[in-house]
Structure 1
Amino acid sequence: MPKKPLHEDWIAVIIAFVTIGLVCLGLKPLLPKFTVWSGAGSFSAQLGNTLLWQQMGILFLWVLASLFIARLLAGYTKLLNLIPSLLAVIFITLIAQLIANNSAMKSFGIEVVLFSLILGLLISNLIGVPGWMKPAIQTELYIKIGLILLGCNVIFKDILEAGALGIVQSVAVVFTVWYFSFWVCRKLGLDDEFRMMISSAVSICGVSAAIATAGAIEGDNKKLSHVISLVLIVAIPMMLFMPYIAIWAHMSPKVAGAWLGGTIDTSGAVVAAGTMLGEEALKYATLVKFSQNVLLGLAAFLISLYWSYSRKEANFEKPTLRTIWERFPKFVLGFVLASVFFSFILPTPLVAAAKGSLKELQTYWFALAFTCIGLETKFTDIFKMENGRPALAFIIAQVFNIFFTLGIAYLVFG
């Protein structure tokens, strides 16, 4: 009997902790570091730097080895098609980093993740992504690995403080926004499957919530794909503009982070937006987003319960407590465990020696993920299905979410 492949969450946990173990044992990869450049001379000097090319090779081999492990754990045997695909994704990401290190761009304070996203979007929407380039476009895996590594730099007492407050915020937001979204979808005449998936995606945690809800109600895959497209597309302008609104409104890092984490529907976009506001805002954005992820298992269980009992004629399987565990995002456990190790268990000198390298690796996993978000996103998809009614419902619900969550963030973290 063939062995059951591991879930992506567990694969991310394994890869992240193998990474942590190797770095703690002293294997610290030298990753590419571009210096600030302003003209053709300094630009050419960087491209002629042999050490920089060696570092690019190390980055490629490190990520390739991680993807090989991920593929094997997921039950795939075709590995060689990852090589050209990953070369393309890393090339785009490094071009973005080179652009971000231009002195003019540095003066505006624009982060490299924004350029990774923009380059990906340009390729996806103007040229199209060829089939050979798709195997290494694994956004969710990259984000999950990066988020677990982020746990190494988050002290556990901060998780307890912000996590408790984040749960308070998340419960208020999830229930209120979910019911408002469901009401809007009904007013626009969407069917029950669309209502459930859109409401969960807007109120809980985007793509993961939509997938969990579709699994709980055995929803149509075409509708699920459309909701996922909406999540990714709408998250982009939110990611770009909300940090600047937070700066303009003079929000504290706690409030700004809680606002971003509670409204933006993808972990990658939350991290990108939080990064633009600094380390503290990123920490609170991540912790609030994780607080919502924690509710995903419970939400999926309740949705399964409602769906099975409201549709008895379809003979849906009755949910059990196991549903909570199956839908619970396991990478959140990895994040917390990493924080526990670096807060309480590992010796202080070892923590100090390892955190820098882990931070660099985390940054590159996120940068690769943002490139992939751009490559996966096509703006034309938003208007194709049911004359744009799902898109309209999603946008209306998200606008309500933005304002309601901002008020809750001020009440809880202000």
Structure 2
Amino acid sequence: MSTENSASVITGALTDAEITPNKKTFLKALTEDWWAVILGSAIIAAVLYLTTAGTAITLPVFKWASTDDLLNKILSAGNLLLIIETGLVFLALAGIAIALSGGNVVRFATGFSLIYFLAIISFIIGGNKNVSYYGLEYVVFALLIGILMGNLIKLPSWLKEAVRSEFYIKTGLVILGTTILSADLVKAGLPGIVQAIIVVSAVWFFSLWLSRRLKVDDEFGIILASAVSICGVSAAIVAAGAINGDKRKLSYVTTLVLIMAIPMMVIQPWAVKYFHIPEVIGGAWLGGTLDTTATVTAAGDLVGPIAVKAGVIAKFSQNVFIGVAAFFIAIWWAYKKPKDEAGSVQIKVESPGLKIVWERFPKFVLGFIAASLIFSFLLSPATAKSVAPTLNGLRTIWFAVAFISIGMEAKFSSLVKLQGGRPAMTFVVAQLFNIFWTLLWAYILFGGYIFPVPDFK
């Protein structure tokens, strides 16, 4: 995605003729990154205020195991009312940003309502006990629904107005910062911290090196490397946002992550048992390679309780690197020499100055880091814990509407043909390297060779 796009206001989806020309200067200066920071911060502040004031915030539920659960719990009048109320709040928040940016609020409201409805469908499907057991979360279904919509029908203008995946993603990422706590890194212990540093750095640079060897462009390579080395979909989203990456590429990488996660969840626990790998080492291995805490826990359950604890601790250590990676990737990408439309590097006499770096730097990263620092050092652990479920629930809604939008924007034919399958080859080889490299260091760090074997009993 070009620098021009990265600096565009939230109305970037509109034509020039549709943009209101006489907006005030300070409103013109608010890019979608700033709107993401504003909305994300407003949501965090509101949840903190209401929770500390003793006001309970109830969100819709989507977990169900039987037809009776679906009818009497998910589709009950009370839960449906909560779904509608939540959607109206999200519509109001996003609508304010659209209105102040010069967008068409009526068309946006119509399109957003459909996108939100489809996101709810993905939550309901992913909330089934049997579906979630196999690690198939709402992300899978949101992406598939969006791809089907975008490829089977021509999107009307009122729907296109609401297809703003980057805006939704970045707002969700600001809220995600509240879950990246320094306390989690401390809890992980020295073995988990060392494993995270060694695994994340080595796998990230190997993945980027491999992508370049296979002639995959750096934009794709960075998203792939971050997904493989840190924590899958979340890391891919952060990396894509940090470099204003092509949404088709993010969709492609997300699909690869989800496809690879299923066999890994089955094969790795089997390998731990078959090769008699000690449970604590097996758990650290699972935590260092599987992409989410949920999949780590599910796979660890197939091994044992110690594997679950070791895996979750190892995963916490790697999750902390999301913010660090986003910060340095954004700075490095801002300093890269711009390319012309033909892809050749333009000759520049001087490197970009701090002003250029600031203009290109994704501002949502600042909101992400600020949220992490506030929740790590300024709030009490009890307060942070009390608001975590609500903020996590709101963040997943932003991500769900984002993935519906990403799917709508991605043409399936483009995903299949994209760079001749080389990104998929890069991802698979890098993931295999990740699996064996992490297993080696799990043995070294959790096997008693350097540190005492952790006692998780």
TM-score interval, normalised by the smaller of the two chains: 0.7 to 0.9
1:227-255 C-alpha deviation (Å, 9 max, x unpaired): x4244224303223325404521385654
Map 1:369-388; keep pairs closer than 5 Å.
369-382=402-415
1:391 is matched with 420
Candidates 76, 90, 94, aligned match of 1:63:
90
234 and 24 in structure 1: CA distance in 2 versus 1, 3 angstrom threshold:
closer
User: How far off is 1:88 after superposition?
Assistant: 0.6
2:64 is matched with 36
2:212 is matched with 182
1:46-102 C-alpha deviation (Å, 9 max, x unpaired): 5763322321221112211221243356x3342222211111111112222333344
1:12 is matched with 36
For structure 1, the residue ranges without an aligned partner over 5 or more in a row are 186-193, 216-223, 261-269
Map 1:251-330; keep pairs closer than 5 Å.
255-256=285-286, 258-259=288-289, 275-278=294-297, 283-284=316-317, 286-301=319-334, 303-304=336-337, 314=347, 318-330=351-363
Taking the aligned partners of 1:151 and 1:312, their CA distance within structure 2 comes to: 35
* Percent of paired sites with the same residue: 26
1:264 is matched with none
Secondary structure in structure 2 of the residue aligned to 1:245: helix
For structure 2, the residue ranges without an aligned partner over 5 or more in a row are 1-23, 227-234, 273-281, 298-311, 446-457
Secondary structure in structure 2 of the residue aligned to 1:82: helix
User: How far off is 1:175 after superposition?
Assistant: 3.8
Alpha-carbon contact 1:31-1:58 (below 8 Å) kept: no
Taking the aligned partners of 2:264 and 2:255, their CA distance within structure 1 comes to: 15
User: How far off is 1:380 after superposition?
Assistant: 0.6
Map 1:160-199; keep pairs closer than 5 Å.
166=196, 168-185=198-215, 195-199=217-221
User: How far off is 1:31 after superposition?
Assistant: 2.4
2:375 is aligned with 1:342 = yes
1:190 is matched with none
1:296-327 C-alpha deviation (Å, 9 max, x unpaired): 134325532999xxx89855764224454444
Residue 428 of structure 2 aligns to which amino acid in structure 1?
A: V
Map 1:207-286; keep pairs closer than 5 Å.
228-250=247-269, 255-256=285-286, 258-259=288-289, 275-278=294-297, 283-284=316-317, 286=319
Candidates 392, 396, 406, aligned match of 1:363:
396
Alpha-carbon contact 1:32-1:52 (below 8 Å) kept: yes
138 and 282 in structure 1: CA distance in 2 versus 1, 3 angstrom threshold:
farther
User: How far off is 1:156 after superposition?
Assistant: 1.4
Taking the aligned partners of 1:356 and 1:22, their CA distance within structure 2 comes to: 14
Secondary structure in structure 1 of the residue aligned to 2:336: helix
Candidates 18, 25, 35, aligned match of 1:2:
25
Residue 68 of structure 1 aligns to which amino acid in structure 2?
A: G
TM-score, with structure 2 as normaliser:
0.67
TM-score, with structure 1 as normaliser:
0.73
343 and 115 in structure 1: CA distance in 2 versus 1, 3 angstrom threshold:
same
Map 1:79-118; keep pairs closer than 5 Å.
79-102=105-128, 104-105=130-131, 108=134, 110-118=136-144
When you count helix as a share of all residues, which structure comes out higher? 1
Alpha-carbon contact 1:293-1:329 (below 8 Å) kept: no
Secondary structure in structure 1 of the residue aligned to 2:29: coil
1:127-164 C-alpha deviation (Å, 9 max, x unpaired): 45433222323323333333332332343133577788
Taking the aligned partners of 1:333 and 1:168, their CA distance within structure 2 comes to: 26
